[in-house]
Structure 1
Amino acid sequence: MDLFDVIEWVAHSRAEHLELAVLADDPASPIPNLASDPGYVDRVRAAAESAGVDLSNLAMHAEFWAPGGADVGAAVARVEAYVDLAERLGITRLRHDVVAHGALPGDDTPLFEAAIEPIVAGSKQVARYAATKGVATSVENHGFFVQSADRIRRIVHAVDEPNFLTTLDVGNFVCVDEDPAVVVPQNLPYAMVIHLKDFYVRDVDPGEGWFRSRGGRYLRGAIVGNGDLDLGSVARSITEAGYEGYASIEFEGAEDCLLGIERGLANAARLLAAA
């Protein structure tokens, strides 16, 4: 499937919108990026509009801090260029990372205290630029270093821009051994987009195909509603908070991706309807 096939698939499914996640600045990539031909970008927007599929969020990597140093100015300029790309695509939400993914050894609290100033400075500059384009920006709870609920809130509060929020992935908290039923409600007031995700969680090594949480538990992606997370409680929190924005299925399981998405959509609808 190319991106136009995906848009058509979404249009004929029970889904209503589609997020785009940039993996590289590569002219051959199917996902619009800074190296894409402008004509291709325009065709993607036109195809989505014609199919009645909202392009809800553009996600991309950025690095405002690194243990060995980072070029914040260059990183900010790149993210701002992606804000322009989002505007061209008709997308009003952009998620950007703030650090590279990967756990750091030991207690990384001192490193986070050192990192938060450039993270906040870069995010604030981008948010202010994005506001001139009518785009909201966000940081996601993933990548270990900024994955915990309290670190996300600290960044959002420190940036203190009305259009800077969080892409709230309800499942990612288990990667840092937090209970989504407890911490999702804490971060819901700051959600720009919600990602619905599920995991299988084990305390004993189940074999190949699993990765480990920060605390050493074994995790594997599951179809939304099939895993071990209490998504019923999460769904109730979303409903009780009055959230009316976009919710996306993010599927990382071992099953066929279309099967995982179809069943995940059905389960998400069922969970939210029952909440």
Structure 2
Amino acid sequence: MHFGFSSYSFYQQLRAGNMTLLDVIDWVSASDATHLEIATVSLSPEISNDTSALDRSPDLVRAIKQRAADNGVVLSNLVVPADLVGENRSADFERLKRHIDVAAELGICLFRHDVAKWGFTVASIAEHEALLLRAADACRELAQYAAQYGITTSVENHGLWMNGSERVRRLIHLVDAPNFKTTLDVGNFMSVDENPVVAVAANAPFASIIHLKDFYVRSQFPGDGWHHTPGGSYLLGSIVGFGDLDMRGIMRGIVDSGFDGFISIEFEGIEECLTAAPIGLANAKRLMAEAVAAK
């Protein structure tokens, strides 16, 4: 296993202007992590609206590549939001292709993209099936484009529509490309009220990279800032190992699947991120070691 961070974990510092992405690379190099995943949304002032322009910033791309090489930090994954079933799907498709080019320039071998906006839902199973085929066609074409660079593309279990372990596996089956997998986020299944221990065990064999996160979970409204799931739970990001997810059960599912790739800590809690990140990394390594020893 190769433990590292998503740049999203440092969003507090990036948004406040206290750190740049180059500073994040320096910080990761000085930590016990070995890799960094670049999430373009972490370069935007709003989490919910990606206004980054990495695909139009060649000087920044060169600077990132040089800083990572100088610090011995592997750039593991490029994470780009998109909507491949909405009205602007053609523009988003072309934007994703440009970012695949960026990933190749950075020497990144993994590329994660969305297929729909976070809050998108469908009204009927018929609409779901029709859109699933449209999404599969777009994902297949992107995977074929990425193949020229030796890049594996993936869709994350993210948002309300393309979430849930079976939906993700069905999409992978329909795309049917050797370089199309899933970015497996162990916590996001909670957003659609699916048991993450069961879901991780089911989808880990199809993972190209794993996002490790934790949540506090409540059954009644605790106050502002908590995410409300369709099933009535309330979620708040936490330091990995501090929350209510069965992290030991999740780790067992990862180990049992034989996965041996990149694992990114994706912290999205309210604790100070430069404090939360090393604690979460240490907890993740300890819990994974326990799961390996118990196998």
> Could you state the TM-score of these two structures normalised by the residue count of structure 2?
0.86
Determine if contact 1:22/1:31 at 8 Å carries over to the other structure: yes
CA deviations on 1:143-168 (whole Å, 9 max, x unpaired) are 11111111100101100000000000
For 1:65, the equivalent position in structure 2 comes to: 85
- The Cα RMSD (Å) is 1.9
- Other-structure match for 2:278: 262
Contact 2:146 / 2:153 at 8 angstroms: preserved in 1? yes
Cα distance, 1:74 vs structure 2:
3.2
1:103/1:78 CA distance change after superposition, 3 Å: closer
SS in 1 for 2:254: helix
Q: Deviations over 1:9-62 (max 9, x none)?
A: 100101111011113998xx99761121x1221111011011010010000012
Partner Cα separation in structure 1 for residue 284 and residue 252 of structure 2: 12
More helix by share: 2
Select the residue among 246, 251, 261 that pairs with 2:262.
Answer: 246
Mapped pair 1:49 → 2:69: yes
Contact kept? 2:54, 2:60, Cα under 8 Å: no
Change (3 A) 1:25 1:226: closer
In 1, Cα distance between the equivalents of 2:285 and 2:75?
Answer: 20
- Which structure ranks higher in relative contact order (CA pairs < 8 Å, sequence separation ≥ 6)? 2
How far did residue 103 of structure 1 move?
4.5
Q: 1:76: Cα distance to partner?
A: 2.4
Cα distance in 2 between the residues matched to 1:175 and 1:240: 24
CA distance in 2, matches of 1:109, 1:30: 32
The letter of the residue matching 2:26 is: E
Query: In the aligned structure 1, how far is the partner of 2:116 from the partner of 2:69?
Result: 33
Matched, 1:17 2:35: yes
CA shift in 2, pair 1:263/1:62, >3 Å: same
TM-superposed CA distance for 1:71, in Å, is 4.5
Name the CA distance, whole Å, in 2 between partners of 1:128 and 1:39. Answer: 27
Match of 1:87 in 2: 104
5+ residue gaps, structure 1: none
For residues 93 and 36 of structure 2, the distance between their equivalents in structure 1, rounded to whole angstroms, comes to: 25
Check whether the contact 1:48–1:55 (CA below 8 A) recurs between aligned residues. yes
Between the two proteins, the alignment pairs up a number of residues equal to 268
Among 238, 246, 258, which residue is 1:222 paired with?
Answer: 238
> Which residue of structure 2 lines up, in the alignment, with residue 96 of structure 1?
113
Aligned twin of 1:4: 22
Q: Are the structure 2 counterparts of residues 9 and 156 from structure 1 closer, same or farther at C-alpha, using a change threshold of 3 Å?
A: same
Q: By how many angstroms is 1:225 displaced?
A: 0.5
Where does residue 168 of structure 1 map in the other structure? 184
Q: For residues 99-143 of structure 1, what are the alpha-carbon distances to aligned partners after superposition, in whole Å with 9 as ceiling and x for unaligned?
A: 1110537x5533321211110111000000100111110000011
The answer on 1:40 being equivalent to 2:60 is yes
The letter for the 2-side match of 1:48 is A
CA–CA distance in 1 between the matches of 2:42 and 2:218?
33
Give the superposition deviation at 1:4. Answer: 1.5
> 1: CA distance between counterparts of 2:63 and 2:51?
12
CA contact (8 A) 2:38 2:75 kept: yes
Question: What TM-score results when the alignment is normalised by the length of structure 1?
Answer: 0.93
Alpha carbons 2:36, 2:77 under 8 Å: kept = yes
In 1, the alpha carbon distance for the partners of 2:144 and 2:126 equals: 28
The share of aligned pairs that are identical, in percent, is 46
Q: From 74, 77, 82, give the equivalent of 2:94.
A: 77
